[in-house]
Amino acid sequence: MSLPLSARPALSGSLFYLGHWAAFGLFSPFINVYFAELGLNGRQIGWLSALVPLTTLIVSPLVSAVADRRRQRVAALRWSILLTVVSFFWLGWETAFVPLLLAMSFHALVRAPTVSLADTLIARQAVRHGLNFGTMRLWGSVGFATLAIAGGWVWEVVGYSWMWPATALFLLPAVWLANGLEEPEAAVVRGTEEVRPWQIIHLPGMKRILLACFLAGLTLGLSFVFEGLYMVNKGGESWLVGLMFGLAACSELPSMQATDSLGRNGRMSRLFLLSFGVLAVAMLGYVVSPTPAWVLLFAAVRGLGFGFFLVSSVRLVDALAPAEWASTAQSLRQAVTFGLAALIAGPLGGGWWIWCRWRRCLWPVRFVCWARPWWWWLACGGYRFVVYWYSGVVVYLIHHYTHRLIHQYTTPHDQTLHRPPRPAARPRKHKLESHGRTPLRPTPLPQRLPTSPTNRAIPAPTRHYGRLRLPPHPRHANRHRNRRTPRLTHSRRAGSHRMAQPQMVRLQRRSLSP
């Protein structure tokens, strides 16, 4: 007798990611191409593309917080997917801009909390059963890559009008697969103060990880929006666009598979930083790519870095957040990475794209005498230089300035947090000791000490050999320097003691000279 899907957590998580992201692979790489074929201009496409990041930023944390409070994450995920299926059918009927704007607004609104809810449920399920989260997540990349490559050929033959109903039918099984996910129970710890949802961002280390995710989202937002256009500008056809996204998704498989095993014993934060370095190599590679084949190669490198980044960021946020607000924390990660960052990166990159192309013929004419080679290179590939080179610099700065900040707040097991103990305070030094000198203490002396040529009036004891007085050995010259009272010295006269007269070493040496 076969077990139900809820009794096999690894299978349920893998199948959900496969069904969900396979459906998104059918339309996500080609949605801007579809809008362009409908006759929409660049500004209208920009408005439609900004709806999904905007709702991800605003709606996703609110819905996730309500689902966390009511302990109904599975139900919220199921309804979100079902309404997304309805929105795909609506998008397939509209062709004008205003109806498309309404349909796309509804689609972005109901789609916003899906990813954060699914990542929370499956990540908690992996921790509870000791499973590899990256192994389950890679099946989503497999489905996305397969249908993205196939969709590039199919839509070129049958047309993009069939894209929306096909996507809705492929996404419909994910509604049933969501029922197989486990609803995590809130961990009740006695004697601890309950964390409110607005206090999650103030948890130790959470701000730094969210800031790093935001800066990485700027780079990924520029990449996701302009990769297809960049391939077309290099001379690639529509099937190469689908192949590029599919190849990038396939390259995510080894990194997602190896993230959990490589991130053990406190190395998850190092993998998080490694992903920034891999993304920087990919962005800089886009700049120097001369042909579409090189663009495909560096798209694979970008997918490798994205796999490390996605799995490590989900695991780090899951380790930092309390169990009762896990979905809210994941929605914040999703909001800053693919919401706020995408809202900034899209208009910024689009503006540079239009500005560089519009002034392409004017730059060599205006700056012939001084900077003609440089400006000509910028005019022919200004969008490459601005978008991808700037993205690589941003990723490098993330790697340079956040590796210590993130690593010092994670324990070897990445489950709890601790702050490193402060070093013991050193005793305060005297102002003379900081310059290598021992401070002088007041000593009652029988007479005023003469000053030496070096202006250091420091008394030194002498050695007695009969009547001959020799200067002290250099090793013991300062032995009695800090004594508060002079040393008592036995006199040659029996039974009597006298105070040893302090004398300077340099003066004694002068007295011994003939």
In a domain, 164, yes or no: yes
**Distance in angstroms (rounded) separating the CA atoms of residues 111 and 80:** 6
Asked if residue 117 lies in contact with residue 327, where contact means CB atoms within 8 angstroms, the answer is yes
Average pLDDT in the chain: 71
Residue 177, φ and ψ in degrees, nearest 5: -65, -25
Residue 419 pairs in a beta bridge with: none
Confidence (pLDDT) at 83: 94
| Residue 328: domain span | 5-183+201-407
**Confidence category of residue 416, pLDDT binned at 50, 70, 90:** very low
pLDDT (tens digit per residue) in 50-59: 888 888 888 8
Confidence (pLDDT) at 329: 84
Query: Structural domain tally of the chain?
Result: 1
In a domain, 509, yes or no: no
In a domain, 425, yes or no: no
Confidence (pLDDT) at 68: 83
In a domain, 464, yes or no: no
In a domain, 493, yes or no: no
Give the 3-state secondary structure of residue 357. Answer: helix
In a domain, 327, yes or no: yes
Given CA atoms 97, 172, 314, 116 in this order, what sign does their dihedral have? positive
> In terms of Cα–Cα distance, which of 185, 203, 182, 179 is closest to 193?
203
What is the CATH classification number for the domain harbouring 54?
1.20.1250.20
In a domain, 322, yes or no: yes
Average pLDDT over residues 295-304: 87
Q: Is the pLDDT of residue 99 over 80?
A: yes
Confidence (pLDDT) at 107: 92
**Distance in angstroms (rounded) separating the CA atoms of residues 281 and 211:** 21
In a domain, 460, yes or no: no
The winner for highest mean pLDDT among 79-88, 279-288, 303-312, 342-351 is 79-88
Which amino acid type is present at position 85?
A: V
> Which string of b and e fits 311-347 if b means at least 16 CB within 10 Å?
bbbbbbbbbbbbebbbbbbbbbbbbbbbbbbbbbbbe
pLDDT (tens digit per residue) in 109-155: 999 889 888 988 888 888 888 888 888 888 888 888 888 878 878 88
Average pLDDT over residues 235-261: 79
Q: Is the pLDDT of residue 364 over 50?
A: no
Q: Is the pLDDT of residue 512 over 60?
A: no
pLDDT (tens digit per residue) in 201-216: 777 778 888 888 888 8
Q: Is the pTM of this model over 0.75?
A: no
